[in-house]
Amino acid sequence: MRNLIFISLLISTSVCAQTITRLEYYFDTDPGFGNGISIPISSAADLARDFSVPLNTVNEGFHLLYIRAKGNNGLWSLPQSRPVLVQRSAQSASIYSINRIEYFFDTDPGFGNGSAIPISSAIDLTKDFQLPISTIAEGIHTIYYRAKSNNGLWSTLLARPVFVQSNAQTSSTPSLKRIEYFFDADPGIGNGIQISTSGSTSDQSLVINLATINSGFHILYVRSEDIQGRWSQPVPKPFFVGKSGSNIVALEYYYVDGTGKSIIKIYNGFTPGKDITVDFAAVLDGLLPNTFYEIHVTAINSDGTRSAEAVHTFTTPAIICDPISVPSTVAASRCGSGAVTLTASGAIGTQTYRWYQTATGGTALAGEITNVFTIPSLATTTTFFVSIVNGTCESARTAVTATVLACNEPPVIIPATLTTASETVATLDLLPLLSDPDNNLDLSTLRIVSQPSSGAHAEIVNTILSVDYVGVYFSGKEALEIEICDLVGSCTTETFTINVEGKLVVYNGISPNGDFKNDVLRIKFIEQIPDTKKNKVMIFNRWGNLVFEMTNYDNHDRVFRGLNKNGSELPSGVYFYKIEFAGAKEPISGYLTIKR
C-alpha cells in the first residue's frame, strides 16, 4: 500500500457561470467552510487538477476524503466524497506493483473474471483505453474497475454510470427533441418542465422560477431526449433556496487585498425592493493605487436576513478619485439661428467645469471652465456635455441640449359643444372655430381623428361637421376629436363634446310569449338619461293593486316580463304604470296592455 493518494479531479461551475477561486479537502469530519486543506489552483470556471494527499497524519483504516470548491460569488459547492484505506505500515513497507486491471458491467463476475485492460506492471499507472460495447444492450449501465497488485490484493471497486447507444459508432449525432428539468424527485420521463431547444447541441441560459420551491437545499436535474426517442441520464446540480418576504434595504461591502480586509461600508441610496438592480460608486478611500483587490458585496433585508457574498476582482486606477456628483443642467432654445446659453450647477469649493461635444472621450472645449457656456451662433439643435472637475478627477458627463426652433405656431381650434336630439343629425360649421397665428392654415388637412363611441357616424364636408344619430340608440354625452394642420406640417387636435338629449318613451304593450318580440316592457332611454337612471317602476292592476315594482329599471336585466311580484304570470288585460325618479324630475304614468 501507499502513503499518498493521487487524485484526479474535474470541477465545473458552468451552471452558475461563476469562477472557482478555492479548492479544499478534509477527512471524515467537516472543519467548516474555508478551514479545509487548500489545493493550489489558478482561478477558472472549469478545472481539471491532479494532486497528491499526504496521509502521515491520518489514522489507519477506512476514511472518507471530502473535496469542495468555492466560487467567486462566495458560495461553496456540496462536498464530493471518496472512500480511502490508510495502512500505516505502508510508510516503510515495500510498495507493490499493479499487475492487472479489469472491468465489468453491472454484475460482478468475481475477482479475476472481469475483462482485462492491457497494462505493463508498474507502481503508478495512467492508462487511456477504449471499451468495446457491441455486446452491451442499449441503455444506462454501470461500469466497474478494480486493480490487483503483485502481492495478490485487489483494490476497492470504482463505479461510473454510462449510457450505451449502439448506432452511435456510425451514425451522426441525432438532433435533440426536447430538454426538461425537475427538482429533487423524478416525475417520470417526459413529465419534467420543458425547455425549448433545436439542433444536436444546446447551449442556453434560462431563469427558473423558484417561487414554489421550499427554502433549503435541493437538486436540479436536467435531461434531454433526441429525435429517436432516447433519453440522456439526468445531470444533477445541487443548489440552495433562501427566501425572505421583506425588502432589500442596504448593501454591505468591503475590500480584500490578500493580506486582510478593509472596514465594512454600507450603501442604501436606492429604493428598497425584493428584487433590485443597483449601480453605485463604491468608495475607494483607503485603497492603494494600481493594486489588485476583491470587493465582497452582501445584500441585507429589512428583517436582517443576509444574502451570500458576491465577489468581484478589480485593479484600482493609478489615481484614486473620490466620487464626484454629476452636474445638473438647464437646457435652452431659441427661434432661428443665433446665440444660445447653457448652464450647469453642482460644483463645490474649487471644483470647475468642462464642456464637451461628445458623451465620452474627445477633448474639452478650450477655455470653458465655468457653469455658463454660450454658443455664439447655432443654426441647428445640438447636444453638449458637461462634467465637474476636481484637480485630476472628473465626474461623469451630463447631456444638455441647445434647441433651434423653426418658430412656426401651430393652428388653433376653439372647442365647442354640440347639442342635439336623439335619432337626428347634428351639424356644426367648424370654419369660425379654426385659425392660425401664421396665417398658413391648410383646410385640406381638416379631419376627424376619432369617431363617437356610440357608433354614430361623423364626417366633415367643406368644414361642415355632421354627426348622424339616426338609428343609433344613445342618449347622453360623448366626444370626438378634430385635427387640422398648417402648411408647415404643425398640427393641432381638439376634443368636441356632443350632448345627445333622448326623450323618455314608454312602449305600452307587451306579449310575453317567448318569441323574443315585445316580451318585456321597454322604456326607451331610461337607462341612459342621467335624470332617469335612478328610478322606480310600479305596475297596478285595474283595481289599483300593486302587482309589480322594480328600482333602477334598465331595459336589460331589470325589466317587467309580465310576472307579478311573486314571479307568477299576470293574465292578459289592461294595467297601469307609474315611474318615479330620484331627482326633481316629475313622475310619469299611463296604461299598458298585456296580451298572451
pLDDT, mean of residues 363-374: 95
Higher pLDDT, 486 or 215: 486
pLDDT score recorded for residue 166: 66
Question: Is 103's pLDDT higher than 50?
Answer: yes
Question: Is 11's pLDDT higher than 50?
Answer: no
CA distances from 556 to 67, 324, 519, 535, 591 (A): 76, 68, 12, 14, 21
| CATH superfamily, region 412-501 | Immunoglobulins (2.60.40.10)
pLDDT, mean of residues 435-450: 92
Question: Is 286's pLDDT higher than 60?
Answer: yes
> Which triple of cell numbers denotes residue 131?
471499451
- Max avg pLDDT among 36-40, 173-177, 271-275, 380-384: 380-384
Q: Look up the CATH number of domain 328-405.
A: 2.60.40.10
* pTM for this model (two decimals): 0.32
Options 2.60.40.10, 3.40.50.300, 2.40.50.140, 1.20.210.10; CATH for 248-315 is: 2.60.40.10
User: How does pLDDT run across 480-504, given as a tens digit for each residue?
Assistant: 999 999 998 889 999 999 998 888 8
pLDDT band, residue 234 (cuts 50/70/90): confident
CA distances from 187 to 15, 139, 182, 208 (A): 22, 19, 7, 17
* 8 A C-beta contact, residue 53 and residue 38: no
pLDDT score recorded for residue 15: 38
Kindly report the number of other CB atoms within 10 A of residue 384's CB atom.
Answer: 24
Fold (CATH) for 176-241: Immunoglobulin-like (2.60.40)
pLDDT band, residue 171 (cuts 50/70/90): low
Q: With the C-alpha atoms ordered 358, 364, 368, 370, is the resulting torsion angle positive or negative?
A: positive
Per DSSP, what are the bridge partners of residue 409?
none
Amino acid at residue number 64? L
pLDDT score recorded for residue 192: 93
pLDDT, mean of residues 411-417: 94
Lowest-confidence range among 30-44, 346-360, 532-546?
30-44
User: How does pLDDT run across 254-269, given as a tens digit for each residue?
Assistant: 999 888 888 999 999 8
pLDDT score recorded for residue 10: 45
pLDDT score recorded for residue 14: 38
Higher pLDDT, 9 or 170: 170
Kindly report the number of other CB atoms within 10 A of residue 66's CB atom.
Answer: 19
Question: Is 12's pLDDT higher than 60?
Answer: no
Question: Is 16's pLDDT higher than 50?
Answer: no
CATH 2.60.40 describes domain 4-91: yes
Percent of the chain with pLDDT over 90: 42
Domain ranges of the chain: 4-91, 98-168, 176-241, 248-315, 328-405, 412-501, 505-594
Amino acid at residue number 99? N
Q: Look up the CATH number of domain 505-594.
A: 2.60.40.3580
CA distances from 260 to 32, 254, 257, 560 (A): 20, 10, 6, 87
How far apart CA 81 and CA 143 sit, in angstroms, is: 19
> Which triple of cell numbers denotes residue 428?
356644426
pLDDT score recorded for residue 130: 84
